[in-house]
Structure 1
Amino acid sequence: MAGAGVKAAVEWLASAAPDPDACRWEWERDPRGIALLPAGRRWDVLILPGELGHPTLDVLTRLVDRPGPVLSDFGEARMGFFVPPGTAARWVGTGVRGAGQGTWIVVPYPGREAAGAVRWLIPPDGSGALNDVMLLELAMHEAAAGRAGRAGRGEN
């Protein structure tokens, strides 16, 4: 992602902050390139364990041309899928955590190489596009079924 796409993504993400100007100022000067942003205003985040998140993202990329934003952290142990606000409060799913109203997440600066443990797998494009919850759930079911089938055959 370059130029105008990065600027649009930064503006969209910063718009979730209580003070977008201060957020951008600090974010652009932080050598780690991270910001702490509130969930629940522009987006919620569904957090999946990496062993489910990766196959889910694989399925999702087969269903849509470009999924919404997706983060990965700590050696890809967890993946965060950005979804519409309010999703986390209504989500019921084993092993999936939701970050919604009242929670904050670490967000790396788009378009910059990650200096910390959190990085974009699919960066935001600045349009406000999010992951479709129904397609994400379908992708999770297909990914889980595929994992269960491989485990039943003794594969990893």
Structure 2
Amino acid sequence: MEHTGLHWLAQVAPDPEDFRETWERTGLGLMLLPAGRRWDALVVPGRLGRPAADLLGLLDTGPCGPVLADSGEENVSFLVPVGTAARWVGTGVRSAGEGTWIVVPHPGRSSRGVRWLVPPDGSGRLNDPVLLELVLHEAAAGLGGW
């Protein structure tokens, strides 16, 4: 699982093979990858993002796509289809799309700071923005209106 997730993540690097080999060889836990090539990221406050990620996991739509959390789960990031960042409108939601970079942890190693709540499985599965919006509303309602 981690091996295919690593290959999938590396595909957005300028030189995917070199990137993957460097990441494996150096043992670095965190790397910068460009958003907007195979995925965008939506970043929400952890108090909303963690319940939303849990709700996504409970849906009968299959496994959710990759989800990241920073240390202390202050922020939770959902990987979504390219173009979502440019179209997303939501209070308190930041986006990373074309022209931006995000820090990602190695899918098979633990790291301090950023970690996978749901690691990439190599399939290319991303979070559906429509479902994400619904679970964010549901999570906000559960928090008393966020």
Pairwise CA distance, 1:29: 3.1
- Higher CA-based Rg: 1
| Structure 1 residue 55, shift from structure 2 partner | 1.1
- 1:103-114 → structure 2 map (5 Å cutoff): 103-114=100-111
Find the aligned partners of 2:71 and 2:101 in 1 and give their Cα distance: 17
Cα distance, 1:21 vs structure 2: 1.7
Structure 1 SS opposite 2:102: strand
Q: Calculate the aligned-residue CA RMSD, in Å.
A: 1.4
What stretches of structure 1 move > 6 A for 4+ residues in a row? none
Determine whether 1:67 maps to 2:64: yes
Corresponding residue to 1:131 among 103, 127, 133: 127
Distance (Å, rounded) in 1 between the aligned partners of 2:7 and 2:102:
17
| Alignment partners' CA distance in 2, 1:25 and 1:33 | 13
Greater alpha carbon shift after TM alignment, 56-65 vs 134-143: 56-65
User: Does the CA-based 8 Å contact 2:29-2:106 persist in structure 1?
Assistant: yes
Paired positions, count: 145
One-letter amino acid of the counterpart of residue 10, structure 1: L
Counterpart residue type for residue 86 of structure 2? A
Offset, 1:34: 1.5
Give the equivalent residue in structure 2 for 1:55.
51
Q: Which stretches in structure 1 are left out of the alignment for 5+ residues? A: 152-156
Q: Which amino acid aligns with 2:51?
A: P
Distance 1:15 1:146 in 2: 37
- After TM superposition, the structure 1 = structure 2 runs for residues 1-156 of structure 1, keeping only pairs within 5 Å, are 5-63=1-59, 64-114=61-111, 116-148=112-144
Q: 1:48–1:97: 8 Å Cα contact kept in structure 2? A: yes
CA distance in 2, matches of 1:95, 1:29: 38
Deviation at 1:62, TM superposition (A): 1.5
Any gaps of 5 or more consecutive residues in structure 2?
Answer: none
1:8 positional shift? 1.1
- Percentage of pairs with the same residue: 61
TM-score, structure 2 length as denominator?
0.94
